[in-house]
Structure formats: structure tokens, C-alpha cells
Amino acid sequence: MFDEVKRRKKEEDKMRQEGRMPPGQSLTLKFPVLHYGPVPSIDLATWDFRVWGEVEEEVTWTWEAFSELPRTEVQMDIHCVTRWSKFDTTWEGVSLRSLIDEGLIKLKSTASFVLQHCEHGFTTNLPIEVALSDNFLMATHFNGEPLTLDHGYPLRGVVGAIPSRRDLKDVYLWKGGKWLRGLEFMAQDRLGFWEQAGYHNEADIWKEQRLVRG
């Protein structure tokens, strides 16, 4: 136990020195499970993924079809609003930017925001420029293994920080929804579940934008 605490503290100090630890955060060597509501029951035979809203044509993929989409792998640091941070995590899945670049999703010029729709009606919103960045992924795998059900199997949105890319906007992990089932592109912003409950709409990790302060 003492050795683990010592190792965690050493790694945490290293991340702070490298400028990778946002203010108010602490390092975890585990991967805490946090979400609102129950873990859903998933049947891949009936699972589908829908894209609609400010798009030229709505798209729906079955799990089999979604699994055939172009794949991307990205390494990111992830930061939870509950103040833990996990570094050098590797995610594999589908990049929204790649789907648009390859013409599989065609956005209207009015598309300025995207709302992630998840199981049990959970939602979370992002500006289009964040959703199309390299640090947002619709992930199926974590550190080389399929997602566990607790962490969003079979598909979750994940957004993190790429240490070499300070040009990107880094937001807290809740801005990627577990058990993702669809994307709604919007001309106007619409608050997601936690944003309606008082979480900060922008969620910038470096500005500690956790809650809306009255």
C-alpha cells in the first residue's frame, strides 16, 4: 500500500512539473466508475446509432455497420470534474472528423453544436469545433481492450487532453457520454443533462470550469 501511494505521488509530481496536471486535480492509478442512473442492458442485435439534425441526410448504422467504419487510435489524458486525472490512456474508435472528411456524414453550414444522445435519455453537448477535434472520439476500446459495460460498452464519447496539442480545447470527461446512441447536430446550443443541473457549459479544465457560479 505504501509503495503504491509513493508511486502515485511521484507520478503526480511529474505530471505537475510537465504542466499536464490541471488545477484542482489529483492523479489516480485506477479508473473510477462514475455515472448517473443504472448501467443499461445492451443487445447488439438491436443496437443502432443515429445521426440527425443539421445534416444533409440522416444516417443510421447497425452495430455491424458501425464496426466497419474507419478506425482511429488516440492517446489522451482524461480529467474528471470530480477531481481525478488519469494520464496516457489509449482509446480506439471512430473519429467524427474522419466520418465528415470521408463524406459519411454531411453537415449543413448551420451545424454549430452537437448533442450526444445516450441510453436512458442522458445527453451532453459540445461546440462543433470540439467535437471535430482530434481529442474527441467515439470509442469502443480502452487500452487495447473492448470497453467494459461500466465504462460505456459498446460505445462512448470520450474527450481528453493531448499533451502535445495545446491548440485544442480541453474539457472535463463528462462531456463525452457513456453508452452513446446518437448525435444530433444543432444550429443553436442546447444544454445536456449535467449542464442543466448546474455544471459549467464550457467545462474548460485549465480554467476549472466545473460549476456555474451564481
| Higher per-residue confidence, 5 vs 54 | 54
Here the CATH number for the domain that contains residue 146 is: 3.90.420.10
Residue 156 belongs to a domain: yes
pTM confidence score: 0.95
pLDDT at 140: 98
Question: For residues 169 and 161, what is the distance between their CA atoms, to the nearest angstrom?
Answer: 8
Count of domains for the chain: 1
Quick check: 185 and 111 in contact, CB under 8 A? yes
Q: pLDDT value at position 214?
A: 53
Mean pLDDT of 182-201: 98
Q: Is the pLDDT of residue 35 over 90?
A: no
**β-bridge mates for residue 185, sequence order:** 53, 114
User: Does a structural domain hold residue 153?
Assistant: yes
Nearest Cα to 172, choosing from 142, 212, 200?
Answer: 200
Beta strands in 28-178 (DSSP E): 48-53, 59-62, 72-79, 84-94, 113-118, 123-127, 136-142, 145-146, 156-159
pLDDT surpassing 60 at residue 80: yes
pLDDT at 37 over 90: no
Domain holding 101, by residue range, is 2-30+44-196
At residue 1, the pLDDT reads 60
The answer to the question of residue 176 being in a domain is yes
Greatest pairwise CA separation for the chain in angstroms: 57
- Helix %, strand %, coil % of the chain (to 5): 20, 30, 50
